Amino acid sequence: MKCFLISDNVDTQMGMRLAGVEGVVVHKHGEVMEALADVTARDDVAVVFVTKKLVELCGTEIAAMKLTMRKPLIVEIPDRHGDSHISETLSGYVSDAVGIKI
């Protein structure tokens, strides 16, 4: 099984390409949805990485896809301009899941 990247910038695409992950660079809502439709139709892709900016652009549709599709797994990733508050984000996820603040 393969991974695939849908990115809003060439730098992220090049970095992932160095790791062996193919992908596309898109900027508009329609382009994102078309790329998602194309990649979800492929049987060889198990994980789709989508940059944070594009997830914000198409949040409702991507959330619906995550809830209804078994495959591929859609994962939001920060791009080179993304924030680096990973520990705060993870703490938030754990707090929401468990129901207590850590």
Domains of the chain, each with CATH number or no CATH: 2-98 (3.40.50.10580)
56: tokens are: 């914000």
Nearest to 62 by CA among 78, 70, 50, 47: 50
**What's the pTM value of the predicted model, to 2 decimals?**
0.78
Within 8 A by CB and 6+ apart from 101, the residues are 95
pLDDT tens per residue, range 53-68: 999 999 899 999 999 9
What pLDDT does 6 receive? 96
* Exposure class string for 37-57: b at 16+ Cβ within 10 A, else e: eebeeeeebeebbbbebbbeb
- The whole-number pLDDT of residue 1 equals 81
- pLDDT for residue 89 is more than 90: no
Q: Which residue has the higher pLDDT, 92 or 14?
A: 14
